[in-house]
Structure 1
Amino acid sequence: MKRIVFLDYVRVFACFLVIVVHASENFYGAAGSTDMAGPQSYLSNEADRLWVAVYDGFSRMAVPLFMIVSAYLLVPMKEEQTTWQFYRRRFTRILPPFFIFMILYSTLPLLWGQIDGETSLQDLSRILLNFPSQAGHLWFMYPLISLYLFIPMISPWLSKATAREERFFIGLFLLSTCIPYLNRWFGEVWGQCFWNEYHTLWYFSGYLGYLVLAHYIRVHLTWSRYVRFLVGIILMLVGAALTIYSFYIQAIPGETLSTPVIEIGWAFCTINCVILTGGTFLMFTCINRPNPPRLITEMSKLSYGIYLMHIFWLGLWVTVFKHTLELPTVAAIPCIAVSTFVSCLVTAKIISFIPGSKWIIG
C-alpha cells in the first residue's frame, strides 16, 4: 500500500498532543503517583487556569485524531479479507506491546518506590480486566480495540453506502455529541433514566462516529484543497475556542472541583471536540507532498511505542521543570511535553534496533 503522507504528520502531531495533555494535568489534577488527573482537581492560580485551559483544551483532539487515522486506513475492510484475517493482522500488531507495557507499568514503579508490592500484585492480577493503576493512559487501547472489532461489521455497509446515507449517520452522531450538555442543562433525555443509559442515539454515538466521518472524508468529500483548508481552519479555531473556554469558565483557582464536571467540554465525543478534530484533520489533508521528511516518517513509525512508554518519562521532566527549575506554567508545560516526547523517541529508536522489537513497541 502506498504511504499516505499527510497521515504521518497527523500521527506525530496527535502523539505529541497526548503528551501535552498529560503534562498539563500536573497543573490541575495530578494524583501525585500517576502524573495524571484524578477525580478531583485544584488549580493554584490564574496562570495555571489559563495555560492549562489553552494547552490541554487545544490538545483534546489527540485521541479522536488517532481514531480517524485508523479508520481512514482500515475502512472498509478489503473485500478479499475475512474477519479473522483482519483481526489477526490488527491484533498481532497492537496486543503484544500493549500487554508487555501493562506488565512493565505493574512492576517497574516498584524500583523507585512509586507503588508497593501489594499494588503491583493487584495490578498484575487484573491485567485481563483493566489497565494498571500507574498507566491510566492505556484506557485508549480499549475503545481502539472495540473499533477494530466492529470494523468487519460496518465495512459491508460503508462499501455500498451513499454520501447522503453517511451524512445522515454523521448528523445523528453530531447530535449525540450534544447529549452531555443536554444532560447538564435538562437532566436525563431521550429514554435515559437510572435503569437505562441507552438513549435514542446510543448506537450512533461514541468513536464509531469518527470512523464513519473518516470514511466520508476519504471517499465522498470532493472539496478543493483551498476549500478544505479554509473550512478546516475555521472549524479548528471555533472548536478550539469552545473547548478551551469550557474548562476556563469552570476552573476556579483555589477551589477543589470535580474533574468530570470541569472537563465536560474535554470529553472526546462532545460537539466542540468533534469540530476541533474534524477541522484539524481537514487541514492536514491539504498536505500533498510526495514523500514526508525522513524524521516525520520515523516518528510516525515509532508513535505507538512513544505513546505506550511516555508516562515513564513524564514524571522525570515534571520534576525538572515544575519542581526543580520552577518554570512558569506557560513555559513548563511545553518544556515537559517536548522533553518527554524526545526522550521517548530516542528510547523507542534504540529499542527498534533489537531483533523482534515490533513485539515491544509495535
Structure 2
Amino acid sequence: MVTAVQPHKAKSHSAPKPRQRLVYLDLINTVAIVWVVLLHVRFMTPDNPSSSAWWVENVLSGFGGAAVPLFFMATGINLLDFTRRESIGTFYRKRFTKILIPLILWAQIYLFAHIWTDSTPFPDARQILRTLLAPSTEAATLWYLEALVGVYVVLPVFSYAIRGSEQNRPAEAHTKFLWLMAALGLILPVFTQAAHLINPKVMPEFIAPVTGYIGFCLLGYALAHTDLSRRWRIVIYALGAAGLAGYILGGAYLIAEHPALKPLAREYLSIPLILWASAVLVFCKYSRINRVSPTTQGILKKLTALTFGIYLVHLLLIQVLRTLQFPLTDVQWEIPYTLLVWALSVVAVWGLRLIPPVRRWVLP
C-alpha cells in the first residue's frame, strides 16, 4: 500500500549540518516580489465589477494575492529551524537589525518624499514621531515589516517546539505535529479578532502573531518538510485553482452583493488565498528549478538578495513616476508597467547596495 504523504525520516541532531540552498525558494521570492509590484501599480482602485478594466485587475490581483503569504511561508522555511544554527540572542540581533532599522529609516524617507510626490507640507515633530512609532501609517507597504517584527518575537517558541518534536517523536508523528501547528496557526485568527479592537498606535501590525501570519510560516515549513505524492500534489493544485477562482469570482460576488463580507475572499488570511499560495509553493517545490543551469540559479540567487530592497523601494518609484505623469496609465499596460517598475527597482537597489553603509543599514 502506497501512502499519500510520506514524512521525512527522523534526523539526528548531534551536530548542526550545513544548510542546503533551496533553489525553489529563490524562484518563489522572485515571483512574489513581481506580484507585489503588480498589486501596487494597479490603476483601477474603486470596486466596480461592472467595468471590464476592473475585471482585468481583479484577475491580476488574484494571482498577485499569493505574494505576501508566500513571503511568510518562505520565512518559516528559512527560519523555523534557526535554533540548530544559532542562539536566540544572535537570531534577534541579526533579524531586528535587518528589519527594524530599515523600517524606521524608510518610514522617514517616505515621509519626506511625500513633500514632492504628494505636495505635503514639511513635516513637523509630531508627524516625525508618529512615523517613528507607526511606520506603516506613512507607507502602506511597511505594514509587512511591522507584522514580520511580531512574527520574529514569537518564532523561537515554535522553533524549539518543532526541534523538540523532531528529536523525540517518530518521523510520522513529527509530520503530524507540523501540520497540527500549521492548522492552529491559521485557525487562531478566528478566535483572536478581538485583538483588532485594541487599535494600537504603536506598530499597528505588531499583533500579527495572534492574527495568523505565524500560521503561514508554519504552513510553509510543513509543506517544505513533507514529501507529497503525485496524487496529493494534484489535490493541492486543484484546491489552489479553486482558491484562485474563489478570490476572483467569489470576491467579485461579495463586493457586488455583500460588501461587508469581502474579507472572506480578499484578506491574506482568507481561505482562497491560503489555498492558492499553498499550491504555488508546492508547484515551485516540485518544479525542475533545481535542474536549471548554474547560471540561471546564480541569477535567481542574486535577485533573491535584492528582494527586500525592491520591496522597500518600489512604492517610492511608483509614486515618483505618477508625479512625473508617466503616460502608461491604462489597464492594458499594467503588466509592462509592473515589469518596468520591477526592473527600475532592481537597478536602483543593486546600485545603492554598492555603497557599504547603504547595504548594511538602508537596503540590507
Q: TM-score range by the shorter chain?
A: 0.7 to 0.9
* Contact kept in structure 1, 2:243 and 2:273, CA below 8 Å: yes
Q: Could you tell me how far 1:61 is from its partner in structure 2?
A: 0.9
Pair 1:20-2:21 in alignment? no
Equivalent-residue separation in structure 1 for 2:197 and 2:41 (angstroms): 38
Aligned to 2:273: 273
The Cα offsets for residues 23-64 of structure 1, whole Å up to 9 and x where unpaired, read as 22x312xxxxxxxxxxxx443951133112111122111111
User: 3-state SS of the aligned residue for 2:278?
Assistant: helix
Q: Which runs of 5+ in 2 are unaligned?
A: 1-18, 166-173, 200-207
d(CA) in 2 for partners of 1:74, 1:142: 17
- Provide Cα deviations, 1:118-141, integer angstroms capped at 9, x if missing partner: 4x6443212332125441110011
The separation in 1 between residues aligned to 2:71 and 2:176, in whole angstroms, is 25
Aligned in 2, Cα 1:293/1:44: closer, same or farther, shift over 3 Å?
Answer: same
CA distance in 1, matches of 2:219, 2:49: 39
* Secondary structure of 1:222 counterpart: strand
Q: Residue 207 of structure 1: CA displacement?
A: 1.1
Q: Map of 1:93-132 to 2, 5 A cutoff?
A: 93-118=98-123, 121-131=125-135
Q: Which residue of 2 aligns with 1:288?
A: 290
Q: Deviations over 1:290-339 (max 9, x none)?
A: 74433322211101010001111113455789x73453x2x232133111
Question: 1:104 Cα shift?
Answer: 0.4
**Partner Cα separation in structure 2 for residue 85 and residue 45 of structure 1:** 53
- Aligned residue number for residue 148 of structure 2: 144
Aligned to 1:238: 242
1:83·1:152 contact (CA, 8 Å) conserved in 2? yes
Measured in 1, the distance between the counterparts of 2:234 and 2:150 equals 33
Contact 2:49 2:55 in 1 (8 A): no
> 8 Å contact 2:224–2:285 — kept in the other structure?
no
The equivalent position to 1:55 in structure 2, one of 41, 57, 60, is: 60
Considering fraction of residues, name the structure with more helix. 2
User: Could you tell me whether the CA contact under 8 Å between 1:106 and 1:132 is conserved in 2?
Assistant: no
- Secondary structure, aligned partner of 1:117: coil
Q: Deviations over 1:159-189 (max 9, x none)?
A: 1332222323333445557x4xxxxxxxxx8
Q: Which residue is equivalent to 1:218?
A: 224
Pick the aligned partner of 1:9 from 27, 36, 60: 27
Q: Distance in 2 between matches of 1:359 and 1:271?
A: 37
Q: Which residue of 2 aligns with 1:65?
A: 70
Q: Is the 8 A contact 1:232 1:280 kept in 2?
A: no
Match of 1:126, SS state, is: helix
**Matched-pair contact (CA < 8 Å) for 2:35–2:67:** yes
User: Post-superposition shift, 1:65?
Assistant: 0.4
Change (3 A) 1:123 1:66: farther
In the aligned structure 1, how far is the partner of 2:246 from the partner of 2:335? 21
Counterpart position of 1:92: 97
Aligned to 1:36: none
CA contact 2:328–2:337 (8 Å) conserved in 1: no
Compared CA separation, residues 42 and 222, structure 1 to 2 (3 A): closer
What is the rounded CA distance, in whole Å, between the counterparts of 2:196 and 2:341 in structure 1? 42
Q: Distance in 2 between matches of 1:359 and 1:194?
A: 32
Residue 192 (structure 1) shift: 6.8
Any conservation in 1 of the 2:102–2:362 contact (CA below 8 Å)?
yes
Whole-angstrom distance in 2 between the partners of 1:193 and 1:353: 42
Q: What is the letter of the counterpart of residue 79 of structure 2?
A: L
Q: Provide the alpha-carbon RMSD of the alignment.
A: 3.2
Inter-CA distance 121–318: structure 2 relative to 1 (3 Å threshold): same
Equivalent position of 2:362 in the other structure: 360
Q: Is the 2:23–2:297 Cα contact (8 Å) retained in structure 1?
A: no
Indicate the residue corresponding to 2:14 in structure 1.
none
Correspondence list, 1:308-323, <5 A: 308-317=312-321
Per the alignment, do residues 132 and 150 of structure 1 end up closer, same or farther by CA in structure 2, a change over 3 Å counting? closer
Q: Which runs of 5+ in 1 are unaligned?
A: 29-40, 180-188
Change (3 A) 1:271 1:264: closer
Q: 1:159 to 1:107 in 2, by over 3 A?
A: same
Structure 1 contact 236–278 (Cα < 8 Å) conserved: yes
- Report the number of matched residues: 325
Is the Cα–Cα contact under 8 Å of residues 228 and 283 in structure 1 kept in the other structure? no
Task: Output the CA distance in 2 between the equivalents of 1:275 and 1:227.
Answer: 16
Matched with 1:349 is: 350
> Closer, same or farther in 2 for the Cα pair 1:3/1:288, shift >3 Å?
same
More displaced stretch, 295-304 vs 41-50:
41-50
CA contact (8 A) 2:32 2:71 kept: yes
How much identity, in percent, do the aligned residues show?
A: 20
Deviation at 1:114, TM superposition (A): 3.3
Distance change in 2, residues 1:336/1:251 (3 Å): farther
Counterparts of 1:141 and 1:211, CA distance in 2: 15
